[in-house]
Structure 1
Amino acid sequence: MENLGSLVEAGDLNGLLRAVDGLCQRRAWDDLVDLADRCEDAIERGKQLWPIAGHIDYRLALEAPGEYAADVLDSITPRFSVGPLTEVAAFAHTWEELATHINSPHVAAYVAQERVLRGEDLTGDIQAHPEVLDLPLRVEPWEPVYPLASYRSTFVEVAEPWEPRAGLAEVASLPAGEIDDPELTAAWLDLVSPWLTESNGAARAVVVDGDAVGAVSALTIGALRLGPLETAEAVQRMAWAGASGGAHGRRRGAALGRSLAWYTAGVTASTEWPVASDALEDALGSLRWYRFDEGAPDEGWALRLAVEDPAEGWAAALAATDLVQEDIV
């Protein structure tokens, strides 16, 4: 460990990364925790080692046994992590491996939801703290297959929403009069918040007195293509966006993605929060969902979603995009 101490004092980032790899390969978890403590002490003294400290926490969450992984968890995505550590740990561990080592109800709730989205039914498990996120501790029959992240030592792969059953068709643009509904537009924009605040994205949401074509037309110029979505397809796209950080923002995780999708769907369907699964399913049944584009597929990250309530005569739409930097120049 003396050599590791020298690397810390020298601020040798490359050497420390190699040391972290070596400790993980040897499964020397106590030594890795000790190195993390040394880096934290050095940071307190002004050394720029927070990338190493963050990477060690990431590797512990991903590769170490549950007791070590649980010790580094919180629900905030670290600055240099490719995803929230609650999601990282839940990708690599079962709920049973983690649950007894988590003391924070907030952290436990997020980890539990990540495990639920990976197929575990935790209904009735008080350690999962369902009161934190007010979501079922199982995936409901009417819900989609959620796009999930797969983590490796240096990168993450995230599944995309599936291709909808129905295609897109050209429609004539016919803007409708806008309605002031700040609660609904705020909920829709929250789905892509990191795209706007941490990346290069742009987004606008509208509510109109009319149908989905009228709402979408208020957000587009020129060519317009529209296609219907099943309710599950719309929820899946909302959850994917809510979990994402866009091109350059920090990923928020599938647990928060599901939470935002449920909340946004509930606000859209005029339900009270928290909402029971059967009540939300019934309320969503009265709405019609759509996707759209402006005549060609979008590049980068995009969420173009619309909904209409035929009985009440209103519609809403969201157009959100985020490009990698080189696509903007």
Structure 2
Amino acid sequence: MITYEEYRLRTLVEDGRWPELLSAYRQARAAAVARVGEERAAAATASLGHLIAYSAPPELSVRLFDPDGGPGSAAGVADHDAGPLWEVLATRHSWLRLAPLLGPAPVRRLVAHTRVLIGEDLSYGAEPDPEGVPLMLEPWEAAGWGEGVRVRDYLPAGGSRSALLTLPATREGLGPVLLPEPAGRLRGQRTTRVLAALAEWTEVVCVRGPASQAAAQLAPGRRITGGYLPFAIAYPVLVQAGTAERSRGSADARLALWRALGAMAGGGGPLGGTGVNRAEVNALVARMRCFTWWDPSDDLRHLHLAMEDPATGLAWAVSGSDEP
């Protein structure tokens, strides 16, 4: 049964009365924050936020994130329906349209990196990233994707579509491998911490040794089906692994991966340190050896990848299966 409020909001959408819809969103969110707290309020108002972010003119939709409506009325980076509201907005308008309008720095940064993933080169059209992550796709970032799958494809009334990428996708190109005895795990590596934060359903280990010894820590046995592949093939799956939660967008995952690669390029030292060096990361990707393997127990979404840096003698393995 459609309530009067739902009918009223639908009428406002059909008539394009976006200022009234924004006012309704702000009032509802602020009231919900006061009543049930920030997290539950964000969930309760996200569907209306999605409608505004998707369909409203950019001059108005960017105001979802402005605090000028009063305490609790503005969407934050974690507000999401089928995906983060800032990502919905970023898929609808170019950076040229959004840049003069966006205010809050965290939202502005994530929108910029979303536009980069979509294919825009912002290296000369936006303020530098605070961590040094480039505002254009490196060739190895762009190489492994199919067309139009780097960011969720959002629908006007809610919901989204996205390709389901897995690693390995099939057993084609893989063969029988006898893994060595696993090397001992190294603790306290910044790269390990950042990779572990990418997807809660994966386990991450670091070893001193080749990729095969890192894989041996997490593979289902020593006799497996596996093989080597370029990092460019693994990169899209790592990005998608970081977006399994609807509160996270592809820009979140890209930033996390650049942090991990930056730490890996610097030797993956103790926790701490910020910023990435683009030249060092590109050199790392060029020399990195990556290994993947098949697990008979894999579910719908899975990721099995070991990454070795021959320059440091360190390797990381990321493995897990996300049950639907």
Which TM-score band (shorter chain)? 0.7 to 0.9
Instruction: Quote the Cα distance in structure 2 between the aligned partners of 1:17 and 1:290.
Output: 52
Provide structure 1 residue ranges, at least 5 long, that are not aligned to the other structure: 1-11, 325-329
| CA distance in structure 2 between the aligned counterparts of 1:49 and 1:137, rounded to whole angstroms | 33
Contact 1:69 1:89 in 2 (8 A): yes
Q: 1:95 to 1:220 in 2, by over 3 A?
A: same
| Secondary structure class of the residue paired with 1:307 | strand
Equivalent residues of 1:309, 1:315 under 8 A apart: yes
User: Using a 3 Å threshold, how does the CA distance of structure 1 residues 234 and 113 change in structure 2: closer, same or farther?
Assistant: same
Residue 170 of structure 1, aligned match among 164, 169, 176:
176
Q: Note the aligned Cα RMSD (angstroms).
A: 2.9
Q: Are residues 1:156 and 2:160 paired?
A: yes
Q: In 2 relative to 1, CA 290–103 (structure 1 residues): closer, same or farther, beyond 3 Å?
A: same
* Paired position in structure 1 for 2:255: 259
Tell me the equivalent position of 1:22: 11
Q: Call closer, same or farther: CA 1:169–1:18 in 2, change over 3 Å.
A: farther
Q: Deviations over 1:208-265 (max 9, x none)?
A: 23322222121133352212221212222222222x1x3xx33411111111111112
Letter in 1 for 2:220: I
Mean Cα deviation higher: 57-66 or 143-152: 143-152
CA 1:280–1:311 in 2, change beyond 3 Å: closer, same or farther? closer
From 9, 21, 28, the counterpart of 1:32? 21
* C-alpha distance in 2 between matches for 1:168 and 1:19: 57
Q: Identify the residue that residue 290 of structure 2 maps to in structure 1.
A: 289
Quote how far apart the aligned CAs of 1:164 are: 8.6
1:182 aligns with 2:188: yes
Q: Distance in 1 between matches of 2:194 and 2:186?
A: 14
The amino acid that maps onto 2:158 is T
AA aligned to 1:113 is: H
In structure 2, C-alpha distance between the alignment counterparts of 1:213 and 1:286, rounded to whole Å: 16
Once the two structures are superposed, residues 116-144 of structure 1 have per-residue CA deviations (whole angstroms, 9 ceiling, x without a partner) of: 1112222223xx33233522221122323
Aligned partners of 2:113 and 2:78: how far apart in 1? 16
Amino acid at match of 2:136: R
Deviations 1:8-65 (A, max 9, x none): xxxx985434433332222111221232244246536749976552222111111100
Q: Give me the TM-score of the superposition, normalised by structure 1.
A: 0.79
Q: TM-score, normalised by structure 2?
A: 0.80
Aligned to 2:301: 301
Aligned-residue offset at 1:166 = 6.7
Q: 1:171 to 1:255 in 2, by over 3 A?
A: same
Question: Structure 2 stretches of 5 or more lacking a match?
Answer: 66-74, 268-272
| 1:179–1:99 Cα change, 3 Å | same
Question: Distance between the aligned counterparts of 1:75 and 1:42, measured in 2?
Answer: 16
User: In 2, are the aligned partners of 1:105 and 1:129 still within 8 Å (CA)?
Assistant: no
Alignment of 1:3-22 (within 5 A): 14-22=3-11
Cα gap change, 1:45 to 1:147, in 2 (>3 Å): closer
What does residue 9 of structure 1 align with?
none
* Alpha-carbon displacement from aligned partner over 1:72-113 (angstroms, at most 9, x marks no partner): 1355222x5121111110111111222211122222111111
Structure 1 pair 185–279 and aligned structure 2 pair: CA distance change class (3 A)? closer
Q: Tell me the residue number matched to 2:95.
A: 95
1:13, 1:49 within 8 Å by CA — same for their partners in 2?
Answer: no
Residues of 2 paired with 1:313 and 1:137: CA distance? Answer: 30
- Mapped to 1, the partners of 2:27 and 2:309 lie a distance apart of 58
Deviates more, 1:310-319 or 1:99-108: 310-319
Question: Compared with structure 1, are the counterparts of its residues 310 and 139 closer, same or farther at alpha carbon in structure 2 (3 Å cutoff)?
Answer: closer
- Tell me which residue corresponds to 2:68: none
SS in 2 for 1:131: coil
CA distance in 2, matches of 1:269, 1:239: 19
Number of aligned residue pairs: 297
